Structure formats: C-alpha cells, structure tokens
Amino acid sequence: MPRLALPARESGHDRPAATIAPSILSSDFARLAEECKRMVELGADWLHVDVMDGHFVPNLTLGAPVVAALRRHTPAFLDCHLMVSRPAQWVQDFAKAGADMYCFHLEAAAAAAGEDGKESPALSPSEPHPAVRDLCTTVRQTDMHVGLALKPGTPVDLVVPYVREGLVDMVLIMTVEPGFGGQSYMPGAADKAAVLRREFPDFNIQVDGGLAPATIAHAAAGGANVIVAGSAVFGAADPAAVMSQLRGAVTTAATSSSSQQ
C-alpha cells in the first residue's frame, strides 16, 4: 500500500479535498530541506517535485538522489512529476528514494514504446495504450501512486480510458508548456479539468502552470482540486496567505458547484 493516502471527496463537495502542492522548482535549492519544511509548516499539503531530463523538455533539474535526500528531512507527500523521455526507466529509483506520486507524461510513455524499432499503436480515446497500461501497473507495484500528465496541446479524451479502468490515481493537466517555471497560465488548457470532473467526481485532478491568486478561480471552477504553484508561493511575501487563498478558491468552487447539482 502507498505510504500516504490521496485526498477524498467529502459530503457536500463535488470533488476531493483541496490540496496545495508548492513546486520546489521555485525554491532556493541551496536550502532545499529548510524550504520544504517551511512550506509544510505554512500549510502545504504536498511538495511538488519537477523532474526534467533536458530531452523531453528543454531544462535539466533534479533526480531520484535529491528526492532520497529530501525524504530524510520530511515526512511530507512527495509529488514527483516526471518530465522525461523514458519514464519507465526511473520507476524503481524513485520508489527507493521515497516518492509518493510518480506522475509521468502520457505522450512520453507512448513515444518511448516505439524507440526500439517496434511499431507502437497510436494513443486512443477508447482504450489504453499497451505500454502506458504496463507502466501504470509497474508503478502501482512499487506502492507509489500513479499520475498521468498531459501537455497543453494533448486532447483530454486520450487520458479518459486510464481513469475509467482505474489505472491511474491522478491526472495532471499542464496549463503551461512543461519545462520552466514562471510561465503564463493558459485558460484553454485548464478547461480540460471540467471534462474529467463531470465524469469522475471522486477523482483527483491536478493543474500546474501559472497558478496564482489571479488565476485560481478559473482553474477551481473547472474542477481542479490539486493545485501546483511555484513562484506564486515561494516568491510571495506571505506564502501562507497565498496558499490559503488557493485552497479557499477550490473549496468554494467545490461546495458551490455541489449545491447546484
């Protein structure tokens, strides 16, 4: 069983509980353990860990050794977002490091299946891709939660088969192009959350990219419940107030939407 449970839906809400996950990409890496401890003390539910390989995205960040080092300093939920070309390669490393969520890109997992010269089937809105299904199963076997991420340009219907079959525990909807923090929020990409929320009220839907007090209302109205924010939190004079505002917007949307159903 996974080390920590995922948020659940409460009575009177149309989605699982609001969950705030500051992205440590925006932290002071020289003081990473201290920064993470501070965020949790100020109200963070999870710590979002952006893992980039310099190939799938044009940036290089951190890997499993840093997660393992961080795990020794915090019991917090480590939400690892793998922006890597070969997500199957790193599952065991992150499991051993103590990751709680292993969220990989649908696009990367499908593309990697054809790298050995074998023909890889196209992604379909009607059934899971064999390689993606296998990777979901592998991650589950390590007792990490399974997350599936989508780039802004990837149609949301391609992730529906995995949710319907219970292969994944969370979908991450990118509201910026993955690779760098501090980008502007894309409302059209965030609208994908509403498509999933209508069909899956108990499912955890994460949004990441450009989330801040000025943009949270739109993401919350669309059905998101797990909110990733980097510079908006770490760069704030009062990070606790920002996280409280993000949480409040999601909770308000969850209760108001539920009352209208």
Output phi, psi for 101, to 5 deg: -120, 130
3-state secondary structure of 102: strand
Write the CB contacts of 172 (distance below 8 Å, at least 6 apart in sequence): 81, 103, 147, 148, 149, 150, 206, 207, 208, 228
Residue 143 is assigned to a ligand binding site: no
CB 133 within 8 A of CB 163: no
Verify whether residue 208 is a known catalytic residue.
Answer: yes
Residue 93 is assigned to a ligand binding site: no
Residue 248 is assigned to a ligand binding site: no
Residue 48 is assigned to a ligand binding site: yes
Nearest to 193 by CA among 167, 170, 162: 170
| Calpha distance 253→259 (Å, rounded) | 10
DSSP 5: P
Residue 11 is assigned to a ligand binding site: no
Residue 12 is assigned to a ligand binding site: no
Residue 208 is assigned to a ligand binding site: yes
Verify whether residue 116 is a known catalytic residue.
Answer: no
Question: Environment class of residue 43 by beta-carbon count within 10 Å: exposed (0-12), middle (13-18) or buried (19+)?
Answer: middle
> Which one of 45, 79, 100, 208 is the catalytic residue?
208
Residue 124 is assigned to a ligand binding site: no
Residue 73 is assigned to a ligand binding site: no
> Which one of 14, 50, 79, 169 is the catalytic residue?
50
Long-range contacts of 35-43 (CB under 8 A, 24+ apart): 35/234, 36/70, 36/73, 36/74, 36/76, 37/73, 37/74, 38/239, 39/233, 39/234, 39/239, 40/74, 40/76, 42/239, 42/240, 42/243, 43/240, 43/243, 43/244, 43/247
Residue 105 is assigned to a ligand binding site: no
Residue 23 is assigned to a ligand binding site: yes
CB 206 within 8 A of CB 227: yes
Residue 147 is assigned to a ligand binding site: no
| Calpha distance 106→159 (Å, rounded) | 8
Binding region for substrate: 23, 81, 179-182, 210, 230-231
Cite the annotated binding site for a divalent metal cation by residue number: 48, 50, 81, 208
Active site residues: 50, 208
* Binding-site residue ranges: 23, 48, 50, 81, 179-182, 208, 210, 230-231
